[in-house]
């Protein structure tokens, strides 16, 4: 028995040694590409055992191998290909030769670009975005709940930091619900692979840029999701993370070079101070720590000044648009990225997809800080960021202050008036995404202390203000929770799992107040969908008086008056103050109640209530 074991081990050692001498081609990314891009160049990253010792060749009409780059790690090669405008779609071999060893061959494919009109159509102020976390929305395929071999295999719905089993099929199953609600665009938190040992459900620690997380589905299913969304008039936003990468990524565990991520003598967090990026008096050390410090111990800070990293990220994002036909990008942690690279990235994305929409997450503390990152603000920067819009946290805070605060020179409703008055800082404020809450902060209904009147007023302002409105999943059914800890704002949508006691995707599963909230959102969202004045119309606002804030959205078709009483007492609004905008109108319709208002000279407004009135002549 011992002799037989020794022979077996000797054979395995010999076989292992022999195999180690033959390089294994583990990855080629992007795995395929397309003909017809404006940029004729593509850089392939090739990963395999000692692949750098190979001689590379290819032979295909219109494709030229212009450079082969060896880097610090001998398990990598970077191949520069140039694709001429006359190149036809097709497959061709890329051969890796090494003396005394069998050739390795990768059959590369160039595809024809998609010409579907709905491909990369863009998201604008005409839309309403619905943000959801796929793990927490609906479980449509229980067979992928646990995937053997992944680092986090448990499924624990009673734990806010474990996976709950939601997936892309679950979202597909409820597209009709979103369409009925009045949503026009869906934004999922990142759905690509996050193979981390803990809290991998959120999606912001990517471990494979080219692969949908198998617990959510497959690349093919993601493409199906986009196609099914487009088929019923819904658009799709993809959430991108440029700044950091999960430490379990193959790119980190076997880095091409040390400079793939920012290295520090000891672990160093970002200081999370966006002001350090723009401060004309700031210390270089503070700016470096802001931009190069790690976001978390499990999220390595990507070195975007590295040209190989730049090519890899930019090509990956182009790949996903062309592969799936998504309509927009949301850029996570935008202020933490290398600003010069991000400007170059945006130019290259826009060159290939001119209608694709882009907005960056900027959870900062003033309008000036937000505007600093947007397109057109070149003062003291020397370049244009090319970023069309941002997540407008200042509008969010101002609406909450208008609902909860007491009137003061810059408090209460005056906060909202003053924030909107600063739109001159943006090239175009209508490209900003406005919101009341998201996956990183307390839910809106909790922020207004579960006051239903305030809830409706906040939704009314969100869906009538300038910009691109975004709702967080469950807002429409009064989901609540505070962000400390974060998990409490990421609960499951009841009804998305087999066996849930209540199915809140249906009226029968919701209670009376939840249905009232749902109906309010649906009525207003669908009115907005059919009212260009609220989508692309101009905005005129008036200085608040006696705690009442009034603004108008208008175009050649309609004029809509929005007025909000931020006081604790009911009031009667004298509209003579608004003659500049109301001249020629003698009546109106409350678009929520459908009540006709024959006399607009004085309008009764209950405390903390917003009225939306379509003016009539």
226-246 pLDDT, tens digit each: 999 999 999 999 999 999 999
- Nearest-5° angle of CA 100, CA 102, CA 105? 135
**pLDDT value for 491:** 96
Architecture of domain 129-498+507-530: Alpha-Beta Barrel (3.20)
**Distance from C-alpha of 263 to C-alpha of 306, rounded to nearest angstrom:** 13
Dist. CA 366–CA 394, nearest whole Å? 6
Whether the per-residue pLDDT at 263 is higher than 80: the answer is yes
Percent of the chain predicted with pLDDT > 90: 92
> How many other CB atoms are there within 10 angstroms of residue 380's CB atom?
8
Residue 406: partners with Cβ closer than 8 Å, 6 or more residues away: 412
- Check residue 119 and give its pLDDT: 87
Q: How confident is the model at residue 291 (pLDDT cuts 50, 70, 90)?
A: very high
Asked whether residue 92 carries a pLDDT value surpassing 80, the answer given is yes
pTM to 2 decimal places: 0.95
The mean pLDDT of the chain is: 94
Number of Cβ within a 10 Å radius of residue 81: 20
Burial of 479: CB neighbours in 10 Å, binned 0-12, 13-18, 19+: buried
Alpha helices in 508-590 (DSSP H): 512-529, 532-535, 579-582
Q: Which CATH number fits the domain 535-616, given the four candidates 3.10.310.30, 2.40.40.20, 2.130.10.10, 2.60.40.1180?
A: 2.60.40.1180
| Among the listed residues 90, 96, 111, the one whose alpha carbon sits nearest the alpha carbon of residue 26 | 96
Q: What is the pLDDT of residue 60?
A: 98
Q: Tell me which DSSP letter residue 60 carries.
A: B
Inter-axis angle of helices 393-404 and 452-462, to 10 degrees?
150
23 pLDDT higher than 70: no
pLDDT for residue 32 is more than 60:
yes
The contacts of residue 458 (CB under 8 Å, 6+ apart) are 399, 400, 403, 436, 444, 448
Handedness of CA 255, 260, 262, 268 (dihedral sign): negative
Say how far apart CA 31 and CA 91 lie, in whole Å. Answer: 12
CATH of region 22-112: 2.60.40.10
What tokens does 307 get?
């040209």
Range name among 19-23, 346-350, 498-502, 504-508 with the lowest pLDDT average:
19-23
Residue 585's contacts (CB-CB under 8 Å, 6 or more residues apart) are: 559, 600, 615, 616, 617
- Is the pLDDT higher at 21 or at 101? 101
Please state, in angstroms and rounded to a whole number, the distance separating the CA atoms of residues 438 and 132.
9
What pLDDT is attached to residue 17?
Answer: 38
State the catalytic residue, choosing from 141, 196, 361, 407: 361
Tens-digit pLDDT profile for residues 480-515 = 999 987 778 999 999 999 999 999 999 999 999 999
Domain with CATH 3.20.20.80 in the chain: 129-498+507-530
Write b or e for each residue in 211-247: b if 16 or more Cβ atoms lie within 10 A of its Cβ, otherwise e: ebbebbbeeebbbbbbeebbeeebbbbbbbbbbbbbb
Residues 6+ apart with CB under 8 A from 15: none
pLDDT band at 20 (very low <50, low <70, confident <90, very high): very low
Residue 609: predicted pLDDT? 98
Q: Boundaries of CATH 2.60.40.10 in the chain?
A: 22-112
Q: In this model, does residue 3 exceed pLDDT 60?
A: no
Query: What residues have CB less than 8 Å from 222, skipping those under 6 apart?
Result: 168, 191, 212, 216, 324
Q: Give tens-digit pLDDT for 425-460.
A: 999 999 999 999 999 999 999 999 999 999 999 999
What would the mean pLDDT of 474-483 be, rounded to a whole number? 97
**Number of other CB atoms surrounding residue 498 within 10 Å:** 8
Biggest alpha carbon distance in the chain?
103
> Residues 156-212: pLDDT tens digits?
999 999 999 999 999 999 999 999 999 999 999 999 999 999 999 999 999 999 999
345 backbone dihedrals φ, ψ, rounded to 5°: -55, -50
Q: Residue 599's pLDDT is what?
A: 85
Per-residue pLDDT, 377: 87
Residue with the two structure tokens 């990421």: 490
Residue 19 pLDDT > 60: no
Look-up of token digits 């990142």: 190
pLDDT score of 1 more than 60: no
Please give the span between the terminal C-alpha atoms of the chain, in angstroms, as a whole number.
100
Task: Write the CA distances from 572 to 314, 388, 412, 603, integer angstroms.
Answer: 56, 40, 18, 5
* Residue 522: pLDDT over 80: yes
Q: Catalytic: which of 332, 476, 491, 514?
A: 332
Asked if 332 is an active-site residue, the reply is: yes
């Amino acid at each position: 028995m011992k002799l037989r074991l020794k022979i077996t081990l000797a054979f395995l050692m010999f076989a292992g040694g022999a195999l180690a001498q033959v390089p294994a081609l583990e990855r080629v990314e992007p795995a395929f590409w397309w003909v017809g891009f404006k940029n004729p160049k593509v850089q392939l990253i090739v990963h395999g055992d000692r692949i750098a010792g190979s001689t590379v060749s290819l032979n295909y009409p219109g494709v030229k191998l212009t450079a082969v780059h060896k880097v610090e790690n001998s398990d990598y090669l970077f191949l520069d290909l140039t694709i001429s405008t006359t190149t036809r779609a097709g497959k061709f071999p890329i051969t890796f030769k090494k003396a005394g060893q069998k050739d390795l061959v990768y059959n590369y494919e160039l595809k024809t670009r998609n010409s579907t009109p709905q491909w990369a159509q863009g998201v604008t102020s005409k839309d309403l975005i619905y943000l959801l976390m796929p793990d927490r929305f609906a479980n449509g395929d229980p067979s992928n709940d646990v995937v053997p071999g992944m680092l986090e295999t448990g499924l624990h719905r009673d734990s806010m930091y474990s996976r709950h089993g939601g997936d892309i099929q679950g979202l597909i199953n409820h597209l009709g619900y979103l369409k009925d609600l009045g949503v026009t665009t869906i934004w999922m938190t990142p759905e690509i692979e996050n193979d981390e040992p803990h809290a991998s459900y959120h999606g912001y620690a990517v471990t494979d840029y080219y692969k949908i997380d198998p617990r959510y589905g497959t690349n093919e299913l993601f493409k199906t999701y986009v196609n099914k969304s487009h088929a019923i008039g819904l658009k799709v936003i993809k959430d991108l993370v440029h700044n950091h990468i999960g430490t379990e990524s193959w790119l980190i565990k076997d880095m091409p070079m040390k400079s793939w991520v920012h290295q520090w003598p000891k672990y160093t967090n970002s200081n999370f101070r966006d002001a350090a990026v723009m401060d004309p008096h700031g210390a270089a050390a503070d700016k470096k720590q802001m931009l190069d410090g790690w976001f978390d111990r499990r999220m390595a800070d990507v070195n975007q000044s590295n040209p190989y990293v730049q090519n890899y990220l930019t090509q990956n994002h182009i790949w996903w648009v062309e592969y799936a036909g998504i309509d927009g990008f949301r850029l996570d942690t935008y202020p933490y990225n290398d600003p010069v690279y991000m400007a170059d990235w945006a130019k290259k994305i826009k060159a290939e997809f001119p209608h694709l929409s882009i907005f960056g997450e900027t959870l900062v503390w003033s309008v000036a800080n937000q505007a600093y990152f947007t397109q057109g603000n070149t003062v003291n920067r020397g370049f244009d960021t090319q970023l069309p819009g941002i997540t407008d946290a200042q509008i969010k805070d101002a609406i909450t202050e208008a609902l909860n605060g007491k009137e003061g020179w810059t408090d209460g409703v005056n906060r909202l008036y003053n924030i909107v008055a600063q739109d001159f800082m943006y090239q175009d404020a209508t490209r900003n995404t406005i919101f009341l809450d998201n996956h990183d902060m307390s839910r809106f209904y909790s922020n207004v202390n579960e006051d239903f009147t305030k809830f409706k007023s906040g939704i009314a302002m969100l869906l009538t203000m300038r910009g691109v409105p975004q709702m967080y999943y469950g807002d429409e059914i009064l989901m609540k929770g505070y962000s400390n800890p974060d998990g409490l704002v990421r609960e499951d949508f009841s009804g998305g799992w087999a066996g849930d006691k209540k199915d809140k995707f249906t009226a029968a599963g919701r209670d009376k107040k939840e249905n009232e909230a749902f109906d309010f959102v649906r009525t207003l969202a669908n009115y907005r969908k059919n009212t260009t004045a609220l989508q692309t119309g101009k905005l005129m606002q008036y200085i608040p008086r006696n705690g009442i804030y009034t603004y108008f959205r208008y175009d050649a078709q309609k004029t809509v008056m929005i007025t909000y009483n931020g006081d604790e007492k009911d009031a009667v609004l004298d509209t003579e103050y608004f003659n500049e905008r109301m001249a020629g109108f003698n009546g109106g319709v409350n678009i929520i109640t459908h009540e006709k208002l024959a006399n607009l000279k004085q309008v009764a407004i209950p405390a903390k209530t917003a009225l939306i009135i379509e003016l009539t002549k």
